[in-house]
Amino acid sequence: MLGLPGLPEQHVDGMSFLPALKSKSHDRGAIYWHFPHYSNHGYQSPGGAIRLGNYKLLEYFENGAVQLFDLENDLGEQNDLSTAKPEITKKLLKMLHDWRREVDAKMPQLKTAGSSKPKTPPTEVTTLPADVETFAPGWKVRDLGGPAMKPGLRTQWDGRKKVLLTHPLSKNVPCVLSRKIEVPAGKKTTLDLEDTNHPKGNWKLIVLINGKKALSKDIEETKWQQVQIDLSTYAGKTVSIELENRATGWAHEAAYWSRIKIVH
């Protein structure tokens, strides 16, 4: 375009958009991003992305989670469509993986002082379900994330012993602790919690009872906070309780629990 000699050795990938500059039809095809490390501001985790037409898919290397957004109707990327549109999600994820292999994109590796070979970062935390059962018998966990923060039991944390750490799966998918209980008649029954946050990040506690929100509380101070919810109105009934560890930003969204009990 400028009359200069070409440099084909630098043409690793990409596509010329000269036709668009000349007001001609131009289909740029899919656009790819690759970010295999952490950022200095703490809000970007390792991952990749692809945009094709109106759709943008993000993949997080820490736990394998994906998100899909329709940028034409959701420019702020607030409505994750990965579950609602599985075929598009599958197609874009395959294209992203194929592109990484084609360009030999380097993936993050974990090394220890004594290791001779790099290890693949963990895609899931396998000890947390068992740790939850030990910490609060009867409770189950789903949508767990944040393997870098090693969710699970801590011997002690901030003056408390036997503390449980949970972490949401993604910015939009909370980590959930759940169980069903039969609320006895003739007794006062209380859900009794004590929790705090990580010094570098806040999170939101959502309590759902039978699918309805009973509490929404921002955990913004690094100090132990007691939460009690009276369950006596459900006397004689079986209720489903869900405790959501929900992200409010996307840095250190860990929840620390020192107590999750049903008190009669």
Average pLDDT, the chain: 87
3-state secondary structure of 128: helix
Here the tokens at position 148 are 């870098």
Question: Is the separation of the CB atoms in 108 and 37 below 8 Å?
Answer: yes
- Write down the H helix ranges in the chain: 18-21, 86-103, 128-135
How many angstroms from the chain centroid is the CA of residue 142? 12
Measured CA to CA, the distance from residue 149 to residue 124 in angstroms comes to: 12
For the chain, the farthest-separated pair of C-alpha atoms sits apart, in whole angstroms, at: 89
- pLDDT given at position 12: 67
Residues of the chain scoring pLDDT < 50: 118-125
Q: Is 145 left (phi over 0), alpha (psi -120 to 50) or beta?
A: beta
Side by side, which strands form the sheet with 55-60? 31-35, 47-52, 55-60, 66-70
- pLDDT given at position 71: 95
pTM as predicted: 0.54
Which uninterrupted H or E stretch holds 191? Answer: strand 190-197
Side by side, which strands form the sheet with 255-263? 152-157, 160-166, 255-263, 190-197, 225-230
Question: Is the separation of the CB atoms in 168 and 247 below 8 Å?
Answer: yes
- Write down the residue that tokens 């006397």 correspond to: 235
- Domains within the chain, CATH numbers bracketed: 13-103 (3.30.1120.10), 128-263 (2.60.120.260)
